[in-house]
Copies of this chain bind each other. A is one copy, B any other.
């Protein structure tokens, strides 16, 4: 059976420079992306639903400590974790999301339950945790989310007493910063290659012609407690509609919220007949940059076209068509 079924994923965008990445680290990231893609690909190859493929892909990305979502999430200023996730079904336009959860092992599974088992779309904080617990989802001690690498980032940020984007560095020096209140690192200070916009996401088209999108994040290192970015917000960080496309975004969340970035891709396709490529390029390369919004997004349309644009140095990304070899990328 010939199918356009395809899944695309990302593991965050930012300053990811070839020069500062060891061959070993690169191989590790590529292998992780490939594993996740193959899991999604298997679901789609068996005639599974796009909604299931993106749920599973994001669950795996949450469980992988390399990426800033679930285990491996960055720390807030209070050295805690606050996680956000969302999911949308392009077939029904149903959606579910949670934000600011501290003990839900897999926020994307909580978002999925909100979509399926609640009349609501978004739960925050303890109410979201109570909902997840009532749904029988795994809650964990906050220590579960701790990784030494992220804790070192927190310590660094704590020493600097500033908001630090979790892997970003050079971009901050070379582009006008959206966090202009935060003091810039002194020019003498070596730029931190570990700073990027950490989010994970997945979009998929299944063999039945349905689209879905999911996203999850630990936010930004040393963020103020309670800050919510674009990831759990339908239309900002995540959107899916069988009539147009599925989109998951990663980047300076506030700019994606102000631009209603994920939905804007769909609106450009629906209302002015833009192609997926044209619409995603306009959002990432024009509209977001106009307000200094750095990041990228992954998108797939109902014909199986895939677009993975980003305006940063790199974005962990990949896609896999049913019956074909996975494609992964990191740098430009």
Contacts and interface: CB of A to CB of B under 8 A. Distances in A.
A178 interface: yes
A38 interface: no
B257 A234 contact: yes
Contacts of A189: none
A64 B62 CA distance: 45
Contacts of A128: 226
B119 A182 contact: yes
Interface stretch (A43-51, A67-75, A263-271, A314-322): A263-271
Interface stretch (A3-11, A93-101, A140-148): A93-101
24 contacts: A93-B259, A94-B258, A95-B257, A99-B124, A100-B124, A100-B125, A100-B127, A119-B179, A119-B182, A119-B254, A121-B254, A121-B257, A121-B258, A122-B233, A126-B226, A131-B226, A233-B236, A234-B236, A234-B257, A263-B263, A264-B267, A267-B267, A267-B271, A271-B271
A83 to B, nearest CB: 12
Contact of A271 (B100, B119, B229, B272): B272
A: interface residue count bin = 35 or more
A91 B268 CA distance: 22
A252 to B, nearest CB: 9
A225 interface: yes
Given A93-B259, A95-B257, 8 more contacts: A88-B258, A120-B224, A120-B254, A122-B257, A126-B225, A235-B263, A264-B267, A268-B271
A123 interface: yes
A160 interface: no
A173 interface: no
A197 interface: no
A125 B129 CA distance: 13
